[in-house]
Amino acid sequence: MPKRCVIIGASLGGFRSARELRRVGFSGEITLIGEESFSPYQRPPLSKQLIKKTFPLERCFLRGSVAEPFSQQLGLTATALDSHAKKIQLSDGKEISYDLAIVATGAKPVTITTAAPSDRVIYLRTIDDALRLRDQLSNEVRIGVVGAGFIGSEVASSLSHQVSRVVLFDSDEQPMSKAIGPYLAQALKELHESNGVETIFGTSVSIVDSQNEDFVSIETPSQQFAFDVVVIGIGVRPATQWLKDSDSLHFDAVGALMADKTGRVLDTDDLYVVGDASSWFDPIYQQHLHVEHFESTVNQAMQVARSITGAPSIDYELPFAWTEQHGQLIQTVGVRMEDSKDEVIHQKDHLLVTFHSSEKITGAALFNNSEALEWTKSEILASLS
């Protein structure tokens, strides 16, 4: 068994990989390298409970992360990897050698050139971002949210009854439509509006954070808005740029590091990848998938640990995600393809939308309908088999 495993990235994927390695019997040295100074923590509460002040900061930290049987080097980033010499260059100028390595660097927010991060312009990705936003909240504050995907919609929902005004912007006609389809996206749009969130969809925006003013300006072709704080959530990109000079590594269209169904990076023997930085071959869909969800990262960490140690592998799961907005639960399972045709199934006050591509059910979205989740999973698996 290898003597040293170096894990680059100390968020969910890196932490769970380290814990799972120990759980299935890895006895070698494990070193966890993290960019932030905080101990490993989970990100889902940042856009919900933490900024709503219903969740103490301590509960964000991953269980047992302070005293685990592996070492942590925090406040450092990896800047290069030499797969032949099995060495990783760190931001402090030092190198660390490995017998095997796991890339768990996650993703970085897509930024807007005219809106650099500041106290008034927040790209919500870290604890520091969430605390900076939370500390500015009051019932007099005006909040603009640019991007109506998972993060933007959750932020708008969380703040709708805490501040004086929330305006949600997106260039698409509806929120989260790529993930949940147009029917449920329309229902979500109406849910936002019924809870006091103003929606400005289907138009481009420009953002100007003038250092000489007390507000941030957002302009559309027909309107101008002034906000005390603007939260931007227009997507993320895999944090793999530091690997681009490494020989023989393969990346997908969005820059995710490609791996086989066990998480081993293609054309390598001792390099693995998990989480938002990865694109795994999925044996259910028979193609590489880049999935940016909590449950998928946890499952990948478990699979990688078993691949490394030879422990029995786990069953492959369908991608799954959930979000709670304005007290309503939305769940997605499987994958909604670009050419998806959606079928809406009404079940009294609950909704189920199935996604169809190439005459197969590839995924679904459920609105306050968790009772139908297991049945829906079985239908998708049966259709794909």
Buried b (16+ CB within 10 A) or exposed e, 79-111: eebebeebebbbeeeeebebebbbbbbbbbbee
In this prediction, what percent of the chain has a pLDDT beyond 90?
86
Q: Give the model's pLDDT for residue 64.
A: 58
> Residue 193 pLDDT > 60, yes or no?
yes
Q: Give the model's pLDDT for residue 208.
A: 83
Q: What sections of the chain are H helices per DSSP?
A: 12-23, 49-52, 127-134, 150-159, 177-194, 294-309, 373-384
Q: What rounded mean pLDDT belongs to the chain? A: 93
Show the tokens assigned to 44. 């889902």
Domain limits, the chain:
4-108+236-309, 111-232, 327-384
Q: Give the model's pLDDT for residue 350.
A: 85
> Residue 183 pLDDT > 80, yes or no?
yes
> Residue 213 pLDDT > 80, yes or no?
no
Q: 67: pLDDT confidence band, cut at 50, 70 and 90?
A: low
Q: Give the model's pLDDT for residue 68.
A: 63
Q: Give the model's pLDDT for residue 141.
A: 96
Closest CA to 322 of 362, 294, 363: 294
Q: What is the mean pLDDT of residues 316-343?
A: 96
> Residue 1 pLDDT > 70, yes or no?
no
CA contacts within 13 A on the Cβ side of 380: 27
Supply φ then ψ for residue 305, to 5 degrees: -60, -40
Q: 66: pLDDT confidence band, cut at 50, 70 and 90?
A: very low
Hey, is 312 helix, strand or coil? coil
Q: 4-108+236-309: what CATH class? A: alpha beta
Closest CA to 168 of 123, 239, 107, 233: 233
- Per CATH, the number for 111-232 is 3.50.50.60
> Residue 63 pLDDT > 70, yes or no?
yes
What does the alpha-carbon distance between residue 19 and residue 64 come to, in Å, rounded to a whole number?
9
Q: Give the model's pLDDT for residue 241.
A: 96
Over the stretch 336-364, which tens digit does the pLDDT of each residue have? Answer: 999 999 999 876 678 999 999 999 999 99
Q: Give the model's pLDDT for residue 116.
A: 86
Q: Do domains 4-108+236-309 and 111-232 have the same CATH topology?
A: yes
In DSSP notation, 76-112 reads --EEEEETTTTEEEETTS-EEE-SEEEE---EEE--B
Q: What is the mean pLDDT of residues 284-291?
A: 97
What does the alpha-carbon distance between residue 176 and residue 365 come to, in Å, rounded to a whole number?
11
What does the alpha-carbon distance between residue 143 and residue 218 come to, in Å, rounded to a whole number?
11
Q: Which of 204-213, 232-241, 277-286, 346-355 has the lowest mean pLDDT?
A: 204-213
> Residue 185 pLDDT > 90, yes or no?
yes
Over the stretch 24-41, which tens digit does the pLDDT of each residue have? Answer: 999 999 999 999 999 899
Q: Give the model's pLDDT for residue 117.
A: 87
Over the stretch 119-175, which tens digit does the pLDDT of each residue have? Answer: 899 999 999 999 999 999 999 999 999 999 999 999 999 999 999 999 999 999 999
Q: 247: pLDDT confidence band, cut at 50, 70 and 90?
A: confident
> Residue 257 pLDDT > 80, yes or no?
yes
Q: What is the mean pLDDT of residues 13-31?
A: 94
What does the alpha-carbon distance between residue 247 and residue 17 come to, in Å, rounded to a whole number?
25
What does the alpha-carbon distance between residue 88 and residue 71 come to, in Å, rounded to a whole number?
16
What does the alpha-carbon distance between residue 340 and residue 380 come to, in Å, rounded to a whole number?
14
Q: What is the mean pLDDT of residues 71-88?
A: 94
What does the alpha-carbon distance between residue 181 and residue 3 come to, in Å, rounded to a whole number?
47
The amino acid at residue 347 is: Q
